[in-house]
Every structure is written in C-alpha cells, then in structure tokens.
Structure 1
Amino acid sequence: MRILYVAYPLHHVSDASAGGAEQMLWTLEREMHLRGHETTVAACAGSRVNGRLFSTGDIPTQSDTFEERNREHHAAIRSLLASESFDLIHDKSGSFFASAADVAVPILATAHLPRSFYPGVNWHVLGHNINVNCVSATQAHTFADVPNLVGWVQNGIAIDRFKFREQKDDYLLWLGRICEEKAPHLAIEAAKRSGNRLILAGQVYPFTYHEAYFAREIQPRLDDQITFIDSPTFDEKLDLLSRASALLIPSQVDETSSLVAMEAMACGTPVITWRRGALPEIVADGVTGYIVDSLEAMVSAISDVSRIRPEACRARVEQHFSASRMAADYAAVYQRVLGRSIGEAA
C-alpha cells in the first residue's frame, strides 16, 4: 500500500518530537514501513522518517506564523498529489482534511485533540472521501455523532526503545509541550510543596501566548530545585524517564491520550496524573501510578510513589500499548476506509 502521512506544519517529525501527534506519526510510519508498505511523510524540512520524507517547507523562525505556514504546507501536499498517486492519505496534521473534500484519495484524519480544539471544523459536512478516527474510547464518545467516524485506535509506543530501570533517582519529572493547559506550573507547585526536586523538559512552541506563559509562570521559578531542559533529544528523554521517581501529568484539559505516560511506564516509572479525559484509560490507579483530583492529592501521591512496582508499570505497557498492536489496529482501519471508498465509488 502507498500511504501518505501528513504531519503538523510547524515542527519536525522525529523520535525526539515534543508533540504527541508527531511522536505517534513517527512510530506508526516506522511500523508500517517495516511491514512493507511504501510510506511518504509530508512534513517540515529536517524531519527524520523511516520511509520517504516529502519536505513541505522550513520551520518558521518567527512566532505566530501558523496560517501562512499551513497554506504553504497544504499547497505543497496538493502539488505532490497532482504528480503522484497514493492508496491512502493518513492526515495527522489536524487541518488538511478539513479542506480536502475534492481530493481523489481516501483520507483518514486522526483527531489527536479534544473536539473543542477544532472550532472551525463542521464534522457533519465532511467530504465522502474523509474518515475520522479517535485515539481513545473516552475521546470517541465525544465524537459519536460524527457521520464519518470509523472508530478509535489506542496509541502505542515502540517498547523495545524504552529501557526498563528498577532503581530510581530522587527527582520528579514533567515532560512535554510547554503551555498553560499542560500545566507545568502545577508540577512546580507540587514539587515545592512536597520538597522534591523537579526537572521540566520540553519545548515552547512558536506562539506568543506559549512564550508569554513560559516567561511569566515558569522561567521566574527556575532554581536549584526546579530545572529546565529545552528540547531534549530522544536519548536525553529516555534517560530522564528511566531515572525519575515519578512522572507528573497535571493537565488541565481532557487529554485524548498520553504517550509520555506510556513511555514512563515502559521505563518502570510511575505516573501521577490528573483525572482528565482518557488518562484513566492509560494509568492504572494504585498499580502503575495514581489518578488524582487536586494539587493536594498529587502532593500526597508523591509521598506514596515508592509503593508502585516498576515491573507492573512495564507489564501494563507491554499488554496494552505496543506499537505493533497499534499498527495492526490501524492496518484494519485502513482496510475499512478503503472498503468504504470502493463501496461509495460503486
């Protein structure tokens, strides 16, 4: 099968990507390439993929240039489609599908974000060539009325790339995209109240409100106890995850999934998370970490984290969140999408 993967236009696709959608694209494309499919990834120049990279342009050097860059991204993809044929387009950009009703190729659009994060999309008038999937049962429930919904596929990770480590160091970890809804400021507060060292690691995306949040809420609070690692490499991320005593996820939005929670558990590291969205589908409360409803409960859970067995964390990921399982599930969805397309053409 010839598959075109469409990435988010502002960031590289690589195993070191800060965004979950970019990480998931990298992992899924790797699995499909290994299964013998001919994969092309439309993404920013400098991305690292396993099949072929089709560069749609450079990452912008200025903030707040999404609309301009997105137009360039879409134009490049349409140029590619005019010169080459594909069996399927898997859109993980969050935007291409919304203006692609005229594209003569079946499209699977993965909704990585909560439904409220797509204010400009009318899910009830999508083109017949466009199919939608979610990434968790919780998220799929909120998309249940969408006519083109073809189901949901739980995310997965390449477990073999995450080293299990039973012995942990004496620091907490927050890892991801630096923005207010991901709430690293609450991770800082939990670390301060519990008296623990905290490492924040991630990337500030090129939006003024993200940069302002970092300057206002994070940077002034960095000190010997609270440290920040900007845009860690995959090896740096792996080292941080495997040695942390716990990963904190104080997210203030209804998360549709959490790759970083899967990655931490694969390393044997417990996860302490807010009870938001699909996070309870991933973290087994009292087994692979703790699910909490307040900052006070997060602080209390930090003191109990030594009760979580690292082996149980790893076992849950091996059982539920492998990349091979995810790829098999997507292969089935791809066939469903292609079958639907053939049926409509007839």
Structure 2
Amino acid sequence: MRVAVLAPVAWRSPPEHYGPWEQVASLLAEGLVAQGVDVTLFATLDSLTSAALDGVVPHGYAQDPALDGRVQEALHVAHAFGRAGEFDLVHSHLDWLPLAFERLCAAPLVTTVHGFGGPAILPAYRASRSALVSISDSDRHPDLDYAATVHHGVDESLLPFSADGGEDLVVLGRIHPDKGTGEAVRIARAAGRRLVVAGIVHDDRYFREEVEPYVDGDRVRYLGSVGPQQRADVLGAAAALLHPIDFEEPFGLSVVEAMMCGTPVVAYRRGSMPEVVDEGVTGFVVADAAAAAAAVGRAARLDRHAVRARAAARFGAARMVTDYLAVYAKILAAQGLPDAGGTPSGPGMPHVTSAGPARRD
C-alpha cells in the first residue's frame, strides 16, 4: 500500500513544542512505516520521519513572520496533490483547504477532521467527496457523513509511567479562555494545591489578566511551552491534570498524555471528555469549578497503574494505526481498488465505527 500523509505546516512534524495536528500526522506516518506501508509524509522540509519526506515549505510558518500561512498551505497542498497519482490513498490532516482542491487529487482522499474552526467552513466539507474521519463521536457534525471515528493515539515511549506522581496539580495546553487556564488557577486554590501551568500563550490579554497575576513561582508556576521530554516529566510529577475547558473540545491530547503517565484527570463535562475519561478509573468529569476542586482528592487517590493500563489499551499509537489501516481498506474496497497489503485484522478492528458510506455522493 502506498499512502501519502498530508501534515499541516504551521509547525514541524513532529513538533518541537506545540503542534497537536502535526503530532498526530507524524505518529501515524511512523506507525504505518513500522507496519510495512510505503509512506510519503508531506510536511515542512525540516521534519523528522522514517517515511519518505516531501514538501515545499522550509519550516513551520507559525514560527516565521516572513511566511504567510495561507500561501504556504496552498503551495503545500498543490505540491502534494500534484503527486497524488503515485499513491493508493492520500490522508489529509490539514483541515478544510485540501477539500477545496479535491478534484485535483488523483487518489482517494481521507480527511481526519481535527475540529471545526466554525460553521463558515462547513461548505467545504459538504461539497467534498472525501472520506471523513472524526476524532471523537462527540465531534461529529449532524450534516456530515463519516467513514469512521478514530481516537488519537500517543507515543507511549515518550510518556513513561510515573508510579508516585506528586502533590501538585498541572494544567497543560494553549493559554486561552477555551482551555480554562484561569479557571484551573481558581480550582487549584480551592483545592489547596499548588499548580503548574504549561503551554504557549494564545491570548495575550487573557494571560495578563487571568493567569500572570497569580504566577508567584510557588503556588502557581508557569513553565511556558514544554517539549515532549519535559512534558512527560511535568505530567508524571502531578497528582492530577486539570482540564476545565470552556468549549466542545474535539479530543484533548494533553488528557491522554497525562493518563499515559499514570496521572488522573479532572475535566469539565464538555465535548469529548465523557468519551475520553473513564469515570472513576482514569479520572472524573465534572460540571463546574466547585465540583472539580472536590474531585481533586478523589482523583489523586486513583490507582495510577490502572490509569496507565486503561490509557495504553485505549490510546496507544499502535491502536490508532490499526484503526486507520482498517479505514484505508474500507475506502479502497469502496473504490473497487485492491488492498495492496499492510491491513491487519484482529482485536483492533471493532474500534472503527461505521456511520454512512465511506464516500459521499
């Protein structure tokens, strides 16, 4: 099987710090290669991969003000689609833009919908014949058909288990009202715990008003953006991860990363959280700040070995790769094309849930 994985180009694949979509695309490409699939990763040219690497964007446009993101993404998609006829399938992780040029793609197109930026982009999805994959059942839009739901996986080797944890709480993610960083400060204070804040600032005013005034280096520490190695250390050293989101989050990689380290989660009941957190096993899903503060102690007493085991079973990278291979086989079969090999069968298969045709008419 020859697969083109089309990664975003805001950041390198895999990202050095922030870049969740790039992280998933990179991990999938590596897993497919390990399964014997012939993979070309279309990404920034400074990306690191065991697949064949191709692209036209020198490095992530988010870190270079001289690069216009709209232009770089358009050039990136045009280059990849120019080679599409060389592949059995193209798998896009680049939001709506490739859908606008889908008719130029000479191979079946699969699109992982990492989350909608807003209803204004829905016309691109409605007009497309791409097979759509949702990253959680909660994130499915009622107007669209999906080939499958495939939960993200994470690299277990980069998230070692921490049996002891610690006493402090952690909130990890972009600092923005959606992520509830300021809410996490209030929850930690109500719970009588120190808080570690990690993530890039996506809303300067929110950071200045809701987070920075409470950063004292003791009760609240701000680490900035943390890369993969430091992220694992920060998550593994926590008693629990706070995830008081204020939007319908499509998935939540930091939640799964924490659980993989054995660290339980206290999250708000929004978006995919009831789907991702196993109540009373890997954490608790609550309604508000008072309930979150009350749940912190219970979360800290959960069996960290059980947290890790459940996370590994549900969100390991190998499971994600197996699920996507099943999706690819389904898409190729719907196209009347032979599966060129590399598609496993077995325990991973039932995770892929069908919801309508693989391709939409």
TM-score norm. by structure 1 comes to 0.88
Residue aligning to 1:242? 236
Which one of 174, 189, 207 corresponds to residue 171 of structure 2? 174
Q: Kindly indicate whether residue 312 of structure 2 is the aligned counterpart of residue 318 of structure 1.
A: yes
- Does the 8 Å contact 1:185/1:218 carry over to 2? yes
Which one of 159, 164, 173 corresponds to residue 161 of structure 2? 164
Question: Helix, strand or coil for the counterpart of 2:71?
Answer: helix
Question: Helix, strand or coil for the counterpart of 1:230?
Answer: coil
1:264 deviation in Å? 1.2
Residue aligning to 1:193? 190
Which one of 193, 200, 203 corresponds to residue 200 of structure 2? 203
Question: Helix, strand or coil for the counterpart of 1:304?
Answer: helix
Change (3 A) 1:101 1:60: closer
Structure (1/2) with the larger strand percentage: 1
Distance 1:87 1:318 in 2: 30
Distance 1:138 1:52 in 2: 34
Question: Helix, strand or coil for the counterpart of 2:121?
Answer: coil
1:124 deviation in Å? 6.3
Change (3 A) 1:124 1:13: closer
Residue aligning to 1:108? 110
**Aligned-pair RMSD on alpha carbons?**
2.4
Change (3 A) 1:322 1:46: same
Residues 262-341 of structure 1: matches in 2 within 5 Å?
Answer: 262-341=256-335
Q: What letter corresponds to residue 151 of structure 1 in structure 2?
A: A
Change (3 A) 1:105 1:213: farther
Q: Deviations over 1:104-163 (max 9, x none)?
A: 2211111111x46352232664333x11110122223x34x424x212112222224321
Change (3 A) 1:270 1:62: closer
TM-score norm. by structure 2 comes to 0.84
- Does the 8 Å contact 1:43/1:55 carry over to 2? yes
Residue aligning to 1:219? 212
Distance 1:23 1:62 in 2: 16
Residue aligning to 1:131? 131
Distance 1:52 1:81 in 2: 16
Q: What letter corresponds to residue 255 of structure 1 in structure 2?
A: E
Change (3 A) 1:116 1:55: closer
Residue aligning to 1:122? 123
1:308 deviation in Å? 0.8
Moved over 4 A (4+): 61-66
Distance 2:125 2:162 in 1: 47
1:63 deviation in Å? 8.8
Question: Helix, strand or coil for the counterpart of 1:120?
Answer: helix
Distance 2:210 2:56 in 1: 34
Q: Kindly indicate whether residue 53 of structure 2 is the aligned counterpart of residue 56 of structure 1.
A: no
- Does the 8 Å contact 2:96/2:121 carry over to 1? no
- Does the 8 Å contact 1:171/1:198 carry over to 2? yes
1:16 deviation in Å? 4.4
- Does the 8 Å contact 2:96/2:124 carry over to 1? no
Change (3 A) 1:321 1:79: closer
- Does the 8 Å contact 1:179/1:214 carry over to 2? yes
Question: Helix, strand or coil for the counterpart of 2:147?
Answer: strand
Question: Helix, strand or coil for the counterpart of 1:166?
Answer: coil
Larger mean Cα displacement after TM superposition, 185-194 or 42-51: 42-51
Question: Helix, strand or coil for the counterpart of 2:223?
Answer: strand
Larger mean Cα displacement after TM superposition, 50-59 or 185-194: 50-59
- Does the 8 Å contact 1:40/1:53 carry over to 2? yes
1:285 deviation in Å? 1.6
Question: Helix, strand or coil for the counterpart of 1:29?
Answer: helix
1:235 deviation in Å? 1.0
- Does the 8 Å contact 1:19/1:176 carry over to 2? no
- Does the 8 Å contact 1:97/1:107 carry over to 2? no
Distance 2:121 2:262 in 1: 40
Distance 1:118 1:32 in 2: 33
Question: Helix, strand or coil for the counterpart of 2:234?
Answer: helix
Q: Kindly indicate whether residue 69 of structure 2 is the aligned counterpart of residue 72 of structure 1.
A: no
Question: Helix, strand or coil for the counterpart of 1:331?
Answer: helix
Unaligned runs of 5+ in 1: none
Question: Helix, strand or coil for the counterpart of 1:119?
Answer: helix
Change (3 A) 1:76 1:266: closer
Change (3 A) 1:79 1:252: same
Question: Helix, strand or coil for the counterpart of 1:8?
Answer: coil
Q: Kindly indicate whether residue 139 of structure 2 is the aligned counterpart of residue 146 of structure 1.
A: no
1:65 deviation in Å? 8.8
1:315 deviation in Å? 1.6
Aligned residues: 334
